[in-house]
């Protein structure tokens, strides 16, 4: 299968040297990319972190470096039509500065107000442009009402699978995840390393693809 994966947190620039971002390490996205590659799939990884930070990187894995939500959106739009599965593991910023300064903003002894505008909803775009046979997997990171919010995202964005976890997963090596598809009840996986969980996610995706082909 041709699998497109996004990983890392985007950087939304305020000026040439300052940006808004989040605490995402990209570990889950990279673990998924490695698991998919080892399973024999053709992987395209759209990432906001340097190639040197991807452990056990395989040269056959296509890596597309991006920084901002807009750049990630452009990359997904480019490669999505040719993929069999899109896994949105990146922590894409919800907002970006409306008018980034072209030069470094100097410090002044007064309050600085930055106007933010919404970034493109990449998962929603993909759901609306999905072709028959394509699989879209999304992530939901929540601090409350985990399952309710994740199910809402699953339906509204027309995803085929949602992987939900709490904010404690950020930066952690071992986490607990819960998985939901439109047809199945919630599946809770015991706490494990992101490497182990990534293999299970890829296996579940492969099973869903096989069932779809048989049907």
pLDDT over 70 (residue 59): no
Give yes or no for a contact between 90 and 29, defined as CB atoms under 8 angstroms apart.
yes
| Lookup: tokens for 30 | 């990279």
* Residue 212 pLDDT level (bands cut at 50, 70, 90): low
Q: For 116-137, give the DSSP string.
A: EEEPP-HHHHHHHTPPTT-EEE
115-127 pLDDT, tens digit each: 999 999 999 999 9
Task: Quick: pLDDT tens for 167-197.
Answer: 877 878 899 999 999 999 999 999 999 999 9
Query: Which candidate in 22, 109, 211, 213 is catalytic?
Result: 22
The overall longest dimension of the chain from CA atoms, in Å, is: 66
Catalytic-residue membership of 56: no
Helices (H) then strands (E): counts for the chain: 5, 12
Candidate CATH numbers 3.40.50.620, 3.40.50.10300, 3.90.1150.10, 3.40.50.300; the one for domain 2-98+114-210: 3.40.50.10300
pTM of the model: 0.91
According to the model, what pLDDT value does residue 53 have? 55
């Amino acid at each position: 299968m041709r699998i497109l994966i996004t990983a890392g947190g985007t950087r939304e620039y305020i000026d040439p040297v300052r940006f808004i971002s989040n605490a995402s390490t990209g570990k889950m996205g990279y673990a998924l990319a490695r698991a998919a590659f080892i399973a024999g799939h053709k992987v395209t990884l759209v990432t906001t972190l340097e190639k040197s930070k991807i452990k056990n990187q395989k040269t056959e894995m296509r890596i597309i470096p991006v920084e901002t939500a807009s750049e990630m959106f452009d990359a997904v739009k480019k490669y999505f039509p040719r993929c069999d599965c899109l896994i949105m593991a990146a922590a894409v910023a919800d907002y970006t500065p409306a008018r980034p300064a072209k030069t470094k903003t100097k410090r002044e002894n007064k309050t600085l107000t930055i106007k933010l505008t919404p970034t493109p909803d990449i998962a929603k775009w993909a759901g609306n442009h999905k072709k028959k046979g394509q699989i879209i997997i999304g992530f939901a990171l929540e601090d409350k009402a985990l399952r309710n919010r994740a199910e809402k995202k699953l339906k509204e964005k027309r995803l085929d699978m949602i992987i939900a976890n709490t904010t404690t997963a950020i930066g952690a090596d071992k986490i607990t995840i819960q998985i939901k598809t439109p047809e199945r009840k919630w599946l809770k996986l015991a706490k494990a390393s992101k490497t182990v969980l990534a293999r299970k996610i890829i296996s579940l995706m492969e099973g869903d693809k096989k069932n779809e082909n048989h049907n």
